[in-house]
Structure 1
Amino acid sequence: MAKISSLADAVAELIRDGDTVALEGFTHLIPVAAGQEIIRQRKRDLTLVRMTPDIVYDQLIGAGCARKLIFSWGGNPGVGSLHRFRDAVQRSWPAPLAIEEHSHAGMANRYVAGASGLPFAVLRGYIGTDLPAVTDTIKPIVCPFTGEQLTAVPALNPDVTVIHAQRADRTGNVQLWGLLGVQKEAVLAAKRSLVTVEEIVDELTPMPGAIVLPSWAVTAVAAVPGGAHPSYAQGYSERDNAYYAAWDAISRDRETFTRWLDDTVFTPTTDRASLMSIPVETA
């Protein structure tokens, strides 16, 4: 049964320096609060995994938490580049960052293989692309039945997967709905998992299109209302487009970014309300 915990205690217990950590969520339900708690606890040498790293990974990389990024697309959605990510790759600030790039299909199939207990996944998607020339974890394979040349990618089995969801019950069963990505597969593929939720309820009521992660598949659950901000949680909050736009200016400059970290994430009195805003003068 999943343990009901505080966010700080769950991150301290589950995420260790040097771990491979996946924070998944697509367009909404992105576990931003958990990412900022990882920064606050100064976790180091992490291999970060995410199909679509956006501003929460920009924050983690800029704060010096990461040594490697495994991904399929990176950017500030609707705005532009991830400037802390670019600075780490191009100028090794605040530390060198290794990258392993895949396609969306490749990443999704790697999670599925990990969740299925298989050593690798097979797909056609990389044929004719340049990615096999720059990514060591993409290998040709011949179908033993047809002779067709395909591509194999190794399973992803993170040490820890972190996701955000709408709610959980008091025994740790997690319910999420709306535009879903690979959250289910990423949790099932991981050795340990943390789910932050908008609320903990006595009973999960059915929702159209919802999926339920059973308590036995989840290590810890933490109630973190607003934990997906500035992304949204369907049925609970809307996307904060102004935050994404403001992040572009903050992340472009090292001093401005460092000041943002000190004034928000590392400030002892910081609560979720202050983390969910960006000062007007830096926007």
Structure 2
Amino acid sequence: MSEFLPLAEAVRRNLHDGDTVAFEGFTHLIPHAAGHEAIRQGFRDLTLLRMTPDIIYDQMIGMGMAKKVIFSYAGNPGVGLLRRMRDAIENQHPRSIETVEHSHSAMAQAYEAGASGLPCAIFRGYKGADLPKVNPDIRSVTCPFSGEELAAIPAHRPDVTFIHAQKANQKGDVLVEGIIGVQKEAALAARRVVVTVEEVVPDFAGLHPNLCILPHWTIHAIAVVPGGAHPSYTHGYYARDNAAYLEWDKISADRELFDSWIRDNVLSVGPEIFAARVEPLR
């Protein structure tokens, strides 16, 4: 059952050293505030799951929090490389990390399998691709009905999933609007779920019935963090901060500049700073 908590307490109760954790969001609703709280609390040896690791994982990797990253595309969206991730892979700075690469489809299928309580995902894919040569988790099975050879990969079952959403109601249900991505599947696949939201409303009366709603019994903790997806956007609340993504390319290219940025923008501030960074849509 969902419980309303301050972000620091929600993270402290649900994330632990050595966990497999997903901070999911697609284009918008990326849970940056939750990621920054994890950095402040200094977790170690995490396995990071994400369809499209972007700058929040670059920051966590740069802080030495990750031992392994399971992903399908890694980059600073619209800009280029994840330079802290590359430094870890190529130079083992600040530590070495293991990488497991999949296709977008495979990652989505693995979340779906986890959400369905299945041990693996089976799908058409990887035919003619080279990823199976470097990823031993990609296997093949024969369909017992058609004889067709299909791809199989382990289901994603995170210890904890963090997502950001627009609203929670007073009962603890969560409303996700706009591009959904795999947040729903990542939440349902996880053993524990923490959601940051822009606001709490009395109920969802009068909203379109086809919106994505996670019921309160799927969620362990909700933290109200206005602006908590910045610099990504939250549909209906604020726009993407393109300048921040461009600036990150410069910051992440230099180890000392990265350390200074983390100290000034993460370690020495709290989640309330996120509200000050966004300009509400008019």
Query: TM-score, normalized by length of structure 1?
Result: 0.95
Map of 1:1-283 to 2, 5 A cutoff? 1-205=1-205, 206-207=207-208, 209-267=210-268, 271-273=272-274, 276=277
CA RMSD of aligned residues (A): 1.5
User: In 1, are the aligned partners of 2:228 and 2:274 still within 8 Å (CA)?
Assistant: no
How much does 1:272 deviate?
1.4
Give CA-to-partner distance per residue, 1:86-131, whole Å, 9 cap, x none: 0011111111110000000000000000000111111111111001
The structure-2 alpha-carbon separation of the partners of 1:187 and 1:64, relative to structure 1 and needing over 3 Å to count, comes to same
Distance 1:234 1:255 in 2: 34
Check whether the contact 2:230–2:274 (CA below 8 A) recurs between aligned residues.
no
Q: Is this contact kept in 1: 2:24–2:161, CA < 8 A?
A: yes
Query: 1:30 is paired with a residue of what secondary structure?
Result: coil
Distance 2:52 2:113 in 1: 19
Gaps of 5+ in 1: 278-283
State the alpha-carbon separation in 2 of the partners of residues 259 and 208 from structure 1: 46
* Structure 2 residue aligned with 1:280: none
How many pairs are equivalent?
277
How far apart, CA to CA, are the structure 2 residues paired with 1:61 and 1:85?
Answer: 6
CA contact (8 A) 1:7 1:223 kept: yes
Distance 1:16 1:228, change over 3 A: same
SS of the residue aligned with 1:96? coil
Percent identity (aligned): 56
Unpaired segments ≥5 residues, structure 2: none
Aligned in 2, Cα 1:219/1:107: closer, same or farther, shift over 3 Å? same
Query: Comparing 82-91 with 268-277, which one deviates more in the overlay?
Result: 268-277
Match for 2:243: what amino acid?
A
Distance 1:270 1:126, change over 3 A: closer
